[in-house]
Structure 1
Amino acid sequence: MAKKITEEELLAKAAKPGQEAMKLHPFYKGKLAVIPKCAIRTVDDFAIWYTPGVAAPCRDIQAHPETVFEHTNKGNLVAIVSDGSRVLGLGDIGPEAAMPVMEGKVILFKYLGGVDAFPICLDTKDPDEIIQAVKWLEPTFGGVNLEDLAQPKCFYILDTLRKEARIPVWHDDQQGTAAVTLAALINALKVVGKEMGQVKLAMIGAGAANIAITRILMAAGVDPEKVVMVDSQGTLHAERTDLKEKFKEKWHVCQATNAEKIKGGIPEALKNADVCIALSKPGSGTIKKEWIRAMAKDAVGLIG
């Protein structure tokens, strides 16, 4: 018979990664290093990799700009750009405090995808300055991963850069979270035998992630009228005119979803729902057991 784990043991287990991180981060002084890809057999090889030999690929790129992808690492180099204004569950902690997270993202890129990434933590919270900084970085990087930017500016930054940048720009918290959530929902609905267009969804949290998820789910066949989203002030519906001027993305959700104009909070959104997608504040008590019991039979929960 399996041993029952006590609450104290669970808390100790949850605290252990943080304790280890406080030992190992200063031991290694960060998680990144730059190493050469090319062979350096003797100092004579620097004549190839640096001067005078390097002038030849420089001239080739000048004459044929597309060859930058042949002569340099640009095609495999991604900038992870953040201002530290919405970091994980930590909130606005600033660009320096965001560095450990961005370094962690870098090693995910390298370990899981073989992609060379680099953390770019910017000392500005102005969305137009962030957009300009990304544009200035375009000659060096082959792509940009926007990370941990507060809303609503994250929508403006992404939409603008997707139109104006010459390289791919991706916001992990929007497109990344939305893509994996859609994949999970497709598989979960197969297990419980429900159709995408028929399920009622409760979206707990109205941040960048859940708004982006709602967009992609509707594109995949979810009926927007069956979606009920909840923010810190309650459910979103067409009478939430407080959002009309200050938050156009939420206001769009208000207009497109919740055909029944369900009012209240999380328990009202979850009642008879087939799916709960929760990306809100962390911690126990955010969603109570009795609210889950009020969901439809064979309900699905996707919790971030």
Structure 2
Amino acid sequence: MDLTKDEMLERAKKPVEEAVKLHRYYQGKMQTVPKCCIRDVSDFAIWYTPGVAEPCKEIKKNPDLAYEFTNKGNTIAVVTDGTRVLGLGDIGPEAGLPVMEGKCMLFKYLGGVDAVAICLDTKDPYKFIETVKNLTPAFGGINLEDIAQPKCFYILDELRKDCKIPVWHDDQQGTAAVNLAGLYGGLKITGKRIEDIKVGFFGCGAANVATIRILISAGVDPKNILIADSRGVLHPDRTDLEDVKYDVKRHLAQLTNPQGISGGPEKVFEDADAVFCYTKPGPDVVKKEWVAKMAKDAMLF
């Protein structure tokens, strides 16, 4: 059935209203429960003391046995500093906790993987890295979440280099993998070739930067890429890219847009076969007249 604008707005408000009520009612989304059989208190002698000492001694001889004797291999740490939470920005570690619990819920419900929300009270990337490295003995993998850029790139690279377990930044690698899969599907439907398409990016945060990298590795020609941040299209003559903070953007400005196109975000839509938008939420951020200027059979993410 067709809904009026007011009816659509009312329907959109419903989850927001329910979220506050139900989060308070359940006091969060996650809990910890035993996975072993406990018939009575005498079983504690097996699962805790004195029996637990035997698997401890086995792991001491061979640390890899932690994956056989404990839940390490099926436990993920979801770690954030709360500096780039959803579309809310830097709201802090406590305010980011509901989102991290939500990610843990997705791991468990969709993949059967146990996950623990860990919100660190530091904005220092070096302290963040050191803390996560010290946590790795208890986990089989690290899922980084909602960390501001540009430090999110450095944190990911350093942890992947030093940690013995997989480290993944959802906002970078997770988003990029889904975007590439979506692009492959779109190319199959439209009959276009990945090496020929013109691709635009509206926003230059972690999600789009990682997507740019994976699309280039998959065959998109950097010369056919145009990127716009909040100040406009990236090009080598942008004077505000000289700040070290924008090192990633400066590199992308050199790698893409060889024509030196300048202007606002509307430029990335012109004749584009695909555009990826990761910018602030809300109506009219992407304007319909921009979309109308995209190429035939275009894809908008």
Secondary structure at the aligned position of 1:291 is classed as helix
- 1:166-205 matches, within 5 Å, as 166-205=164-203
| One-letter amino acid matched to 2:287 | K
Q: What TM-score comes out, normalization by structure 1 length?
A: 0.97
2:249: which partner in 1?
A: 250
Secondary structure at the aligned position of 2:228 is classed as strand
2:108: which partner in 1?
A: 110
| One-letter amino acid matched to 2:19 | A
Query: Contact conserved, 1:201 with 1:228, CA < 8 A, in 2?
Result: yes
State the alpha-carbon separation in 2 of the partners of residues 219 and 288 from structure 1. 30
Query: How far 1:249 sits from its partner (Å)?
Result: 1.1
Secondary structure at the aligned position of 1:272 is classed as coil
State the alpha-carbon separation in 1 of the partners of residues 29 and 287 from structure 2. 38
Q: Matched residues, percent identical? A: 58
Residue 165 (structure 1) aligned with residue 163 (structure 2)? yes
For 1:43-99, what per-residue CA distance to the aligned partner results, in whole angstroms no more than 9, with x for missing partners?
000000000000000111111111111111000010000011000011111000001
Query: How far 1:11 sits from its partner (Å)?
Result: 1.1
Q: What TM-score comes out, normalization by structure 2 length?
A: 0.98
| One-letter amino acid matched to 1:45 | D
2:271: which partner in 1?
A: 272
2:290: which partner in 1?
A: 291
- 1:1-304 matches, within 5 Å, as 3-244=1-242, 245-302=244-301
State the alpha-carbon separation in 1 of the partners of residues 176 and 97 from structure 2. 24
Secondary structure at the aligned position of 2:129 is classed as helix
| One-letter amino acid matched to 1:21 | A
State the alpha-carbon separation in 1 of the partners of residues 248 and 239 from structure 2. 13
For 1:247-286, what per-residue CA distance to the aligned partner results, in whole angstroms no more than 9, with x for missing partners?
2111111011111111101212211111111111111111
For 1:207-227, what per-residue CA distance to the aligned partner results, in whole angstroms no more than 9, with x for missing partners?
000000000000000000110
Query: How far 1:241 sits from its partner (Å)?
Result: 4.0
Q: Which runs of 4+ in 1 moved over 3 A?
A: none
Query: How far 1:295 sits from its partner (Å)?
Result: 1.2
Deviates more, 1:212-221 or 1:234-243: 234-243
Query: Contact conserved, 1:262 with 1:269, CA < 8 A, in 2?
Result: no
For 1:180-216, what per-residue CA distance to the aligned partner results, in whole angstroms no more than 9, with x for missing partners?
0000001101111111011111100000000000000
Deviates more, 1:115-124 or 1:257-266: 257-266
| One-letter amino acid matched to 2:142 | V
State the alpha-carbon separation in 2 of the partners of residues 241 and 134 from structure 1. 36
Query: Contact conserved, 1:225 with 1:256, CA < 8 A, in 2?
Result: yes
State the alpha-carbon separation in 2 of the partners of residues 116 and 187 from structure 1. 31
Query: Contact conserved, 2:268 with 2:275, CA < 8 A, in 1?
Result: no
Secondary structure at the aligned position of 2:295 is classed as coil
Secondary structure at the aligned position of 2:173 is classed as helix
| One-letter amino acid matched to 2:153 | F
For 1:109-134, what per-residue CA distance to the aligned partner results, in whole angstroms no more than 9, with x for missing partners?
00110000000000001000110110
For 1:142-196, what per-residue CA distance to the aligned partner results, in whole angstroms no more than 9, with x for missing partners?
1000000000000000000010111110000000000000000011011111110
Query: Structure 1, unaligned stretches of length 5 or more?
Result: none
Aligned length: 300
| One-letter amino acid matched to 1:10 | M
| One-letter amino acid matched to 2:294 | M
Deviates more, 1:268-277 or 1:46-55: 268-277
| One-letter amino acid matched to 1:266 | P
Query: How far 1:32 sits from its partner (Å)?
Result: 0.9
State the alpha-carbon separation in 2 of the partners of residues 113 and 301 from structure 1. 28
